[in-house]
Amino acid sequence: MKSSTRWEKRQRSGCRIIVLEGVMPSPYGLDVIDSCLSCKLRQFYLFCHLSPDSVKQLEEIKSTVSYPKGAVGRAKLSTSSSDGRTVILRIAQPGEVLGLSAVVSGRPCLATAELIEPAQANFIRRADLLKLLENNGEVALRAAQLLSNQYHSAYETVHTLGVSHSATEKLARLLLQWAAAGKPVEDGIRVTVTLKHEEIAQLLGTSRETVTRLFAKFKSQRLLTLKGSTLIIRDKAALESLVRG
């Protein structure tokens, strides 16, 4: 893996999984987590919430790197066509494991992971992880749960795109997903948006112009307000009606 602003996860050999951390001093102003054993967020992450003995075994085979924005944080997973079109498959959250299916199957990773904020990433070599999976049933079960979750997430994404009849409905669905993880405030639900309109368009399979037009429309209808990266969803019920209707 290259210490650059982008991870090209297409290696056919020596593939490694990536575990994103959520908190991290470093050159990028991050509070570095020196050890998974002392990480206060470990209980919230499926692959990290293991017995102390299993976490210690993972600790022994991982290597840690800190990255600036664009390279603990969120990452967008995308794929591109030969003519340069890009589709964002999903946004990976802190604590997620990237590249696990490729490691287990021995096939190359086909997606590109690019961080959208400064991050700490833990790398584990394929050979080391496979050996751990063979010898540690707890880690193997957790890996199976992760692969199952990723399968269902992929299904839901395809289903959403398939049943959504318009870009309006697609954006409404996305905003409702963000609202589910947002913070209730006096005038609605507050969400921090770190994606540009172009990236949102790539996530929805539409154009940047369409996304910009729909945001303007939703603001004029008082469904939301957007100032910088702060999005306030003011009328969740109206967005739900767009999805149902």
What is the per-residue pLDDT across 54-91, written as a single tens digit (0 to 9) for each?
888 988 888 877 766 554 557 778 877 777 778 777 78
Domain with CATH 1.10.10.10 in the chain: 164-244
pLDDT category of residue 238 using cuts at 50, 70 and 90: very high
> Which of 16-20, 137-141, 240-244 has the highest mean predicted lDDT (pLDDT)?
137-141
pLDDT category of residue 97 using cuts at 50, 70 and 90: confident
How many Å apart are CA 68 and CA 120, to the nearest integer?
Answer: 9
For domain 7-161, the question of CATH label 3.40.47.10 is answered with: no
pLDDT category of residue 202 using cuts at 50, 70 and 90: confident
Question: What is the average pLDDT across 221-233?
Answer: 94
Domain with CATH 2.60.120.10 in the chain: 7-161
What is the per-residue pLDDT across 27-40, written as a single tens digit (0 to 9) for each?
556 666 767 777 77
At residue 69, the pLDDT reads 58
Fold (topology level) of 164-244: Arc Repressor Mutant, subunit A (1.10.10)
Checking if the pLDDT of 106 tops 50, the result is yes
For the whole model, what pTM was predicted?
Answer: 0.60
